[in-house]
Amino acid sequence: MHPAYSVIFFTSASGAGYALLALLGLFGALGVLPADPVLGVVGFGIGFAAVTAGLISSTFHLGHPERAWRAFSQWRSSWLSREGVLSLATFVPSGLLAICWVFFAQVPAVLAILTVLFALATISATAMIYAGLKPVQRWANAYVLPNYLLLGFASGATALALIAAIVLPYHLGTIALDWAAIIGLGFSALGKLAYWRFIDRSRSVATPESATGLGSIGKVRLFAAPHTEENYLLKEMGYKVARKHALKLRLVALGVGFTLPMLLILLATALGGWAAAVLLALAMLGNAIGTLTERWLFFAEARHTVTLYYGSEAA
């Protein structure tokens, strides 16, 4: 599948942003983080900036961005529409929570819980857009939803740990955030390994034989394509560029995106202070590079059943 840069940025940034909002709500409500106004301004500010940038970038690949408002209408059937509705709805409890946090130094439990629920629902809706596409077996499986949640959690927790280390360098709660980030990164790595193991060992139920119905005659292969040049279907669904680098890119995602940040954060917990902030900043950078790489691979490695009509032996 063709990896549109705007969609890769959107799913990575909004995943991190919504997870950051959810974690602020969670740790605020649990009392791990104090309702410190500076933490509130920076934390919610970065969270809102990430999700807003993501949402705006998601309209860049549209043929008619000016009609994007119509996408809020079909939430009864469409995960893309549900994602749109939930992404905006999350602003209500999280916005109110931010106001209470910054101006009244309070974390009302109801708003915190609603922020967590809406943020998780938004990330889940993003995942379900892909997990619901039956023609792409590498997306329509049980690994995709937990992976989106875990990767969002890891990025959001790393960002929050960095913010807390800068704003509240000697607060005990930052250690809890460090460990949340380490656990999130660890489970993200495991989730990705499980996903890659799954896609390497399984194939779509659809085959060239079932796609043409000619299997009763024998093995089916393409003799002549419909056109001499590439068409829309091949450009969009038959994307093959740099698949040969998949293994190296997986190692980049795993090493730079998850393992290295885990080690850096572990070191940060031992050092504390400004050294910790620097290490956490490096961890966040690594995680961002790894997440974008992983998201690019998620598209580039996905195969669509339409390629069965163009000579692919499996989808």
Partner 1 sequence: MTSLPAATPKKLGLVIDLDVCVGCHACAVNCKEWNSGGHAAPLSDFDAYGAKPDGVWFNRIHTFEAGEGSAGRTVHFPKSCMHCETPACVTVCPTGASFKRAADGIVLVDEEKCIGCKLCSWACPYGAREFDQAEGVMKKCTLCIDRIYNETLDERDRVPACVAACPVGARHFGDLGDAESPVSQLVAEREGYGLMPELGYAPVNKYLPPRPSQARAGCTGAQPLPDEDVAPSSGFLRWVDRLLSR
Q: Decide if 175 contacts 130 (C-beta within 8 A).
A: no
286-312 burial, b if ≥16 CB within 10 A, otherwise e? Answer: bbbbbbbbbbbbbbbbbbbbbbbebeb
Kindly tell me which residue out of 170, 172, 221, 241 binds partner 1, with binding defined by CB under 8 A: 221
Kindly tell me which residue out of 10, 27, 79, 195 binds partner 1, with binding defined by CB under 8 A: 79
Determine if 202 is a binding residue for partner 1 (CB under 8 A): no
Type and span of the H or E element at 170: none
Kindly tell me which residue out of 3, 37, 108, 132 binds partner 1, with binding defined by CB under 8 A: 132
Long-range contacts of 59-66 (CB under 8 A, 24+ apart): 59/6, 60/6, 61/4, 61/6, 61/7
Q: Please identify, among the stretches 46-54, 70-78, 103-111, 240-248, the one whose residues bind partner 1 according to the rule CB under 8 A.
A: 70-78
Look at residues 224, 295, 308, 220 and name the one whose alpha carbon lies nearest to residue 57: 295
In degrees, rounded to 5, the angle at the alpha carbon of residue 90 between the alpha carbons of residues 88 and 94 is: 130
Determine if 219 is a binding residue for partner 1 (CB under 8 A): yes
What is the per-residue binding string for partner 1 in 112-131, x denoting contact by CB under 8 A?
-----------------x--
Euclidean distance between CA atoms 262 and 284, whole angstroms: 10
Q: How many residues bind partner 1 (CB under 8 A)?
A: 59
Q: For 56, list phi and psi in degrees, rounded to 5.
A: -65, -45
Determine if 206 is a binding residue for partner 1 (CB under 8 A): yes
8-22 burial, b if ≥16 CB within 10 A, otherwise e? Answer: bbbbbbbbbbbbbbb
Euclidean distance between CA atoms 131 and 138, whole angstroms: 9
Determine if 218 is a binding residue for partner 1 (CB under 8 A): yes
Kindly tell me which residue out of 131, 191, 304, 312 binds partner 1, with binding defined by CB under 8 A: 304
Determine if 230 is a binding residue for partner 1 (CB under 8 A): yes
Determine if 240 is a binding residue for partner 1 (CB under 8 A): no
Determine if 1 is a binding residue for partner 1 (CB under 8 A): yes
Which of 98/300 has CB closer to partner 1? 300
Q: Please identify, among the stretches 166-174, 192-200, 220-228, 279-287, the one whose residues bind partner 1 according to the rule CB under 8 A.
A: 220-228
Residues that bind partner 1 (CB under 8 A): 1, 61-65, 67-68, 70-74, 76-81, 84, 129, 132-136, 205-206, 208, 210-227, 229-233, 236-237, 304-306, 309-310
